Amino acid sequence: MSVDGATATATSTDSPEKLKAAIASLSSMVPSLGSTTPSSLLTSPEIYPQISSLLRKPNSGAGDSNLCRWLYDTFQSGVPELQLLVLRFLPVIAGVYLCRVADRKPQAGFEAVLLALYAHETASRAAQPVTVTIPDLANPSIYHDASSSKAPQTKDADAAVTAVVSPALEPHGTVRSTRRARIVGVALELFFARIRHMPVASKVEFCRFCKTWAGQDGDMYRKLEEEEEEEGGEKVVAQEKKVEGRVPLPWELLQPVLRILGHCLLGPHNRDVELFEAASDACRSLFARSMHDVNPKAILPIRSLMRLSKDVLHRNPLDPTELPFSDVISL
């Protein structure tokens, strides 16, 4: 808290100058942004597709990439608004980066940006894991009989109350094959923590990259319940098709992916048709991948997201549990 507070105090006075400097530097790479103002830099919908297209170019992630250097310096500026601006392009950076890993081409530019995000999270967590407290069903609740509260509690029951969502982070200065999934996963956790500030276009792009990462065509699960009742398992397996872009998906990478997809399906913008369809397609592809790999740890949460998204799709916008509101008082 004290480190963040000191950083906020130090950057609050010079943030306008840093915003102007960021615009001037970006305008040299994207000439059409020459008339951009500091306020429109953070909200303009025209900026995202232009920078996204630059990040997809063949040599976009090289060490001498001016755009990667701009993203790195902009995030390191410490200005919260500029850091949010960089996070908007994380789906493209992570998506293109992971898809190119198999080509064994140097991507020092992308790796520098990902390491900057990882270092930011490492410092903010202060070597502490991210944990959540969950109810322990072995212990009686306050709504049970008072006599049951006198039952002895074991140490194992007490230890099960706290669950680790994300382990403590170790500082890393390079991206190795054994660390790649963890570093990208932590960057996606930071994206999820700020996801309410992210535009819909960024979320849609993330969902499309998830489908590419899965490397499986999930169209055969579009109507999973009907297929389970009417079709045999052999026919479903025969319909599986692989697509290009398949990448390894260990749990440390897949977990933040599913959290982001859950927001896209169940969050406040799930009424956006493009976002909902993209997230649903991603879930079906990831489900096909988990079934292909026989990964039970992934099958259960992805299947749950698919069921919940189906309920959201057919949900009546009027909630019957809500009390009617009226200006008339009945006596």
The DSSP code sequence of 155-221 is HHHHHTTEEEEEPPP---SS--TTTHHHHHHHHHHHHHHTGGGS-HHHHHHHHHHHHHHH-B--GGG
pLDDT of residue 238: 39
The DSSP code sequence of 67-79 is HHHHHHHHHHT--
> Chain-wide mean pLDDT for the chain?
80
Average pLDDT over every residue of 188-206: 94
SS3 call for 179: coil
pLDDT of residue 271: 81
Average pLDDT over every residue of 308-322: 64
Q: Examine the pLDDT at 155 and tell me if it is beyond 70.
A: no
The structure tokens listed for 330 are: 């009945």
CA trace torsion 173, 100, 95, 131 (10° rounding): -40
Q: What's the alpha-carbon Rg for the chain, to the nearest Å? A: 23
- Give all strands (DSSP E) within the chain, no chain letters: 130-133, 162-166
pLDDT of residue 12: 55
pLDDT in tens, 104-117: 888 999 999 999 99
- Give all strands (DSSP E) within 76-160, no chain letters: 130-133
Q: Which of 3-7, 194-198, 290-294 has the lowest mean pLDDT?
A: 3-7
Task: Give the span between the Cα atoms of 2 and 320, in whole angstroms.
Answer: 46
More confident residue, 95 or 47: 95
pLDDT in tens, 20-42: 888 888 888 887 776 666 667 76
